[in-house]
Amino acid sequence: MIVFVVLVSVLIVFFSIMVVSLKHPISSAVSLLIAFLLLAIFYLLYGAEFVAAVQVLIYAGGIMVLYLMGVMFTDSEWIKITRQTHLQAWLALFLVLVFFGYFGHKLYHSQYPAPAVKRTEISIAKKSETEKKLPYLQRETNPRSVSVALFKDYIYPFEIASVLLTVAVVGGVFLAKKEV
Amino acid sequence: MAIKFAVILGFLLFTLGFFGLLARRNMITILLSLELLFAAAGINFVAFSNLHQNFEGQIFTIFLIVVAAGEAAIGIGLLIALFKVKKSANVDSANSLRG
């Protein structure tokens, strides 16, 4: 398993370098798409099946299409004739390297022990009559556990997230539509 | 050992996204770099959810994806608004407030 983790991590880092270094935004967007699909595999390896599915459906399927539409709406002529980095890129590279060195050293030398106290288990809803008849529903799967936790313990954040998405969609349409 | 890989990977993605955010001129690439920062946070959430054997990290990752979707919608709206005014997706062209 650790071989897969290392392989997927190396590929994710490679495609992320492609995202920040390629010239054309379409190339960057497709590299990010591949990186997100690999990230879904990474989530699967860490036991988060539902998050992996959401990553493929929402991120790779929805958000990346939105970005590709954004590339379509803007011209790409100036990309061919001008350079793609700021004058401040060297300063940014220096700052990022300092950041990388300091925090990388800190992170590499920290310990991550599992907590001694067992956390409270998320309560699972009582099994209904249908589930008793159908034994495959009784298996404790990751999407089931996540959805039970999401709809029992985190129901208010879930509803607030829907309000946030509505506001974001209305704001995005307003910004793009406004006559200036 | 697996947790350390995830932390290092998340940190590498954060660094790359940070660099792209500071150094690139095209607004689309800046937004894509921002997505890399979100991905770094998601990796850490999922990895520590695996370490602590509970679901809070995975649920936070789902909310993170929700926030990223909202950010993408607003970002593309701003991009199109910028393109309407300046006829370019270059962020350096938005210098009306420069003294």
Nearest to A119 by CA among B53, B68, B19: B53
Among A8, A13, A16, A93, the residue to mutate for chain B (most B Cβ within 10 A): A16
Higher local confidence (pLDDT), A48 or A116? A48
Cα A2 to its chain centre, rounded Å, is: 21
Residue A123 pLDDT grade (very low, low, confident, very high; cuts 50, 70, 90): very low
* A9–B9 CB contact, under 8 Å: yes
Residue A16: closest CA among A39, A40, A46: A39
Give residue-wise pLDDT tens across range A23-55: 888 899 999 999 999 999 999 998 888 999 999
DSSP strand E in A4-57: where? none
Q: CB contact, 8 Å: B88 with chain A?
A: yes
Per-residue pLDDT tens digits for B3-23: 888 888 999 999 999 999 988
CA atoms within 13 A on the CB side of A38: 21
The two three-digit tokens of residue A103, written as one number: 């925090």
According to the model, what pLDDT value does residue A136 have?
54
Chain B residues close to A107, C-beta within 8 Å: 7-8, 11
Tell me which chain A residue has its CA closest to the CA of residue B23. Answer: A89
Angle at A164 between CA B6 and CA A50, to 5 degrees: 40
The first and second tokens of residue A86, run together, are 């700021």
The residue to which tokens 């310990």 are assigned: A111
pLDDT of residue A42: 92
Cα angle vertex A161, ends A159, A165, to 5°?
120
Residue A124 has pLDDT above 50, yes or no: no
Least CA distance to B14: which residue of chain A? A100
What is the C-alpha to C-alpha distance for residues B80 and B97, in angstroms, rounded to an integer?
19
Interchain CB distance below 8 Å, A48 and B61:
yes
- Predicted confidence at residue A163, as pLDDT, reads 95
In this complex, do B9 and A12 lie within 8 Å of one another by their Cβ atoms? Answer: yes
Supply the pLDDT for residue A178.
66
Smallest Cβ distance to B62: which of A32, A54, A99? A54
Closest residue to B74, CB basis, from A29, A104, A172: A172
pLDDT at A132: 56
Task: Tell me what pLDDT residue A138 has.
Answer: 57
- Range with the lowest mean pLDDT among A19-23, A33-37, A125-129? A125-129
Strands (E), A49-168: none
Q: Which among B35, B51, B62 has CB closest to A114?
A: B51
Residue B77 to residue A115, Cβ atoms within 8 A: no
Q: Say how many CB pairs under 8 Å bridge A and B.
A: 236
Dihedral over Cα of A21, A26, A32, A38: its sign: negative
**Residue A122 pLDDT greater than 90, yes or no:** no
**Of A3, A27, A175, which to mutate for an interface test with B (greatest number of B Cβ within 10 Å)?**
A175
User: Which whole number is the average pLDDT over B83-94?
Assistant: 82
**Could you report the predicted ipTM of this complex, rounded to two decimals?**
0.91
Provide the pLDDT for residue A116. Answer: 57
Q: Taking the CA atoms of chain A, what radius of gyration do you get in angstroms?
A: 22
Contact A110, B17 (CB under 8 A): no
Query: What percent of chain A stands above pLDDT 90?
Result: 34
Of A92, A154, A168, the CB nearest to B19: A92
Catalogue all structural domains in chain B, each as residue range(s) with its CATH number.
2-97 (1.10.287.3510)
Higher-scoring residue by pLDDT: A79, B60: B60
pTM to 2 decimals? 0.84
